[in-house]
A and B are shown apart, each in its own frame.
Chain A
Amino acid sequence: MKILVCISNVPDTTTKITFSADGKAFNTAGVQFVINPYDEYALTRAIELKEAQGGSVTVLNVGEADTEPNIRKALAIGADDAIRVNLKPTDAFLVSQQIAHYAQEGGYDLILMGRESIDYNGFQVHGMVGELLGIPTIAPAIKLDVNGSTATLEREIEGGKEIIEASLPLVVSAQQPMAEPRIPNMRGIMTARTKPLKVVEPVGQEAKTSVQNYELPPAKSGVKMIPAESAGDLIKLLRNEAKVL
């Protein structure tokens, strides 16, 4: 089984987000970038499937050269090879075109990625890639098993879950608890250095959206403290002052 895992490079979850004074750019100074946590669930599950059933795991990233440390990390965790499409990922459709093109070229049985990136929060790429390739997308999946050419999945829906059987090829987006992310070991880190990382040029440049500016949410005006002895007063304040009860 050939598996393609798409990863994106995002600010660490503990990052305090700030923007340039004109609101046009995200300040990356001092920010640690990581593999998008949802993509890491997809990557780990792909490696588990490969270990159990054989096959290969290729990681794909659409990004500029500064994403390579995290691509190497994915190789250290257990992917076999990597493709970096040399393009700044500014728009979901632009990214989806790259993934669909290189996925088609490689002829993968499964295309995995996270449900969304924690920076752009688009929740779009898996559906777009599926539509571009003319194959189904199951999103967001919390469980994935493969038996021959059939995948069995659990998809999270609002208020429950569904059990789905679908034929490969398939696009799947991952969410916890699909797999427990792994920390690369020393052997993985050493072998990752020599695993193939191919840099390819983008295909097409068609973007459908553009970010005009960023803004932080308004700061809270301050917290009103209620003494523990009269905790019950909180309920009255919520009804009469905040008017939410």
Chain B
Amino acid sequence: MSVLVVIECANGEVKKSSLEAASYGSKVAASLGTSATAVAIGDVQADALTRLGEQGISKVLLDNDSRLHDFVAAAYVKVIAKAAESENSTVIVLSNSNIGAAIGSRLAVKLGASLATNVVSLPQINGSSFTVRRGVFSGKAFSDVELSSDKKIIAVKKNAVDIETTDGGTATVENFSADLSDADFATAPKETIRQSGDILLTEADLVVSGGRGLKGPENWHLIEDLAKTLGAATACSKPVADVGWRPHHEHVGQTGITVSPNLYIAVGISGAIQHLAGVNSSKVIVVINKDPEAPFFKAADYGIVGDATEIVPKLIEAAKALDK
């Protein structure tokens, strides 16, 4: 009865959020006195999966069906349910991504499991019951939730748990087939349009975000230049997306994307409560705003009062001077 970890892959690599899930799953397995097995989905080669041993995974099941390179919920659920059955797993760990949440909810019904999403802590295990801490009220609070079914599914929030690496650890990779039929791929995407060249906002360690304090789209290059110099992803506030300076998928906040990077730099964003909800689990927050009374300063670790067009070039210069 190993703990089963769902590993998402893209472009031949394991996603960072899945390395976090692997570390989490290994720790749960250790508490239960068992091992952690992974099931890999997406476009990946066996080599990249062997290294999951560094996160404490002992065995990886890989279904090589190339139709699985694109996300199709029905097919993914079938693969994971079969892996859970063959491993006799009662605990399944996945990442709280769009994919993880879509699979987790269907899997919970199929297996009769308790499901907790957006989880930020390891479980407190009390007999057959688990209690986990999860983010609620769009980042404004936490709640402790008891999972009472025999089977449990835990979707771990991104950047909420550390990736622990033991050098030299290797996992064995076993081929595995869920015998999928064409019907399982009925909702396969006809076309996938990927953003190119940018760092993925939801996976980023560093985020530079801009608001209306930038005055207009002609100043957006300041955000991009600073992000590029630091190796950060870019984001924006809701008003900036609403007026169309930036696309909606970059909008961070209560009704947009929630991020929890190591560093969040907010430029010209006043810090409305809805915006704070999307960023307040960031480890370090920097606020740059010309209004010293901007509410965002109360939620910040570092602050600079000044106009974005004067401050940001100084930061870019200082960042370039850092030895890498």
Contact = CB atoms under 8 A, between A and B. Distances in A.
B105 A238 contact: no
Interface in B186-244: 186-195, 198, 200, 202-203, 205-206, 230, 241
Contacts of B301: 220, 223-224, 242
Interface string A124-165: 111110111000111110100000000000011111111111
A235 interface: yes
Contact of A158 (B98, B105, B143): B98
Contacts of A166: 186-187
B280 A217 contact: yes
B113 interface: yes
**Most A CB within 10 A of own CB, among B71, B106, B283:** B106
Contacts of B109: 93, 96, 127-128, 131-132
A139 B103 CA distance: 10
B12 to A, nearest CB: 15
Given A228-B304, A238-B302, A244-B262, A159 B145 contact: no
Contacts of B194: 159-160
29 contacts: A118-B137, A119-B137, A120-B136, A123-B117, A124-B101, A124-B115, A124-B117, A127-B109, A128-B105, A128-B109, A130-B73, A131-B106, A142-B249, A155-B189, A161-B192, A162-B70, A163-B192, A176-B255, A209-B116, A209-B145, A209-B148, A210-B145, A211-B143, A217-B281, A227-B304, A242-B263, A244-B263, A245-B206, A245-B230
Contact of B115 (A137, A159, A209): A209
Nearest to A225: B303
B106 A137 contact: yes
Contact of B146 (A26, A119, A209): A209
B148 A121 contact: no
Interface stretch (B20-28, B32-40, B57-65, B292-300): B292-300
Main secondary structure of the interface of A (DSSP, over half): mixed
Contacts of A156: 98, 249
A198 interface: no
B114 A228 contact: no
Interface in B116-157: 116-118, 131, 134-138, 140-149
Interface of A: 11, 13-17, 19, 26, 37-38, 92-93, 96, 118-128, 130-132, 136-140, 142, 155-167, 176-177, 208-217, 220, 223-228, 231-239, 242, 244-245
B273 interface: yes
Query: 7 closest Cβ contacts across the A-B interface?
Result: A127-B105, A232-B318, A228-B306, A162-B189, A160-B194, A131-B109, A235-B318
Contacts of B74: 136
B143 A208 contact: no
Contacts of A131: 77, 105-106, 109-110
B305 A228 contact: yes
A11 B141 CA distance: 13
B115 A19 contact: no
B118 A121 contact: yes
A220 B305 CA distance: 19
Given A138-B187, A158-B203, A165-B190, A214 B98 contact: no
Nearest to B249: A156
Interface in B146-178: 146-149
Given A130-B73, A162-B71, A176-B251, 10 more contacts: A121-B118, A127-B103, A128-B105, A156-B249, A160-B193, A209-B145, A210-B145, A232-B321, A238-B263, A245-B230
